[in-house]
Copies of this chain bind each other. A is one copy, B any other.
């Protein structure tokens, strides 16, 4: 069995503005370590992979080559969410290795314990051997309302679980319940399957995607979760879950950085030329060439990207999108 890692790097989110820009989305930022998230993703999976592939847009192919020189780059003709990107990758990998097993990996997550992660991935590859589509289910550590959940069913002889349901983002009370119930896991967007099994499932549920592979402009835009995994769980029931506990974080916004970075004694995550006086639970990223001084602040994010600076409360970090929208309206292309 050969394992091909496929890193999805087509994302172009705005939640890390002003560090992230159109030409430099989140996966190309060194948000946690000194390496970019995509370089860390590559390094994490390379030791157990026969080949590592990266799917990205044309604008980012050079950046991918710079961050992961040994990766094989698949350029998406257009951004169409994860199902088309995975279809493209399955066909490319299968052309070279018809028996390939594929691990799908987001390019912009952080994993604190890479050894435990590789063990889980190897177990998932085992579970995928018979043709099941396998997801890695992450043990929830808090009542998160921003993620989709997986509900697992019976355990199988190989240690994996059946997946009973893909569960939408819950409300706060429901999320509290899930965190207490070991049947619920976070859906981290990490999938392992045989290339032929995924192409079969795409043929069943998203035939238009396979039809459009040669004319990508006609490609429907849909995620692999909604497009394949969930309908497959209702029909063939050949969706499995391998439980993982390896310090996963999707690093969803600046507010998440204290989860994944070293903190000072008052809970501040600080980097660069920054000075915090009487501050608690703040994020101060001084990535420009100037001193950033913070006095008497609680739970605030200050992010200096050199040519633009953001100040936002941690509990409103998602609202950075409003800035990006305002800049678009003002035609400030230089800051986007």
Contact = CB atoms under 8 A, between A and B. Distances in A.
A173 interface: no
A322 to B, nearest CB: 5
A290 B297 CA distance: 22
Interface in A298-336: 300, 302, 304, 306-313, 316, 319-320, 322-323, 326-327, 332, 335
A331 to B, nearest CB: 13
**Which of A300, A309, A320 has the most chain B CB atoms closer than 10 A to its own CB?**
A309
Interface size class of A (residues with CB under 8 A): 20 to 34
Contact of A326 (B275, B288, B335): B275
Contacts of A323: 275, 277, 293, 295
B277 A295 contact: no
A310 B292 CA distance: 6
Nearest to A327: B275
A307 to B, nearest CB: 5
Contacts of A322: 277-278, 295
Contacts of A306: 290
Contacts of A300: 311
A260 interface: no
B319 A295 contact: yes
Quick one: copies of this chain in the complex? 2
Nearest to A317: B295
A68 B307 CA distance: 34
Interface in A270-304: 275, 277-278, 288-297, 300, 302, 304
A234 B164 CA distance: 90
B290 A288 contact: yes
A57 interface: no
Contact of A293 (B290, B297, B308): B308
A244 interface: no
A10 interface: no
A277 B307 contact: no
Given A292-B309, A296-B313, 17 more contacts: A18-B293, A277-B323, A288-B290, A289-B307, A290-B304, A290-B306, A291-B308, A292-B308, A293-B309, A293-B320, A295-B310, A295-B316, A295-B319, A297-B313, A300-B311, A302-B311, A309-B309
Please give me the 10 A-B residue pairs with the lowest Cβ-Cβ distance, nearest first: A296-B316, A291-B308, A295-B312, A293-B323, A277-B322, A290-B307, A293-B310, A294-B311, A292-B309, A295-B319
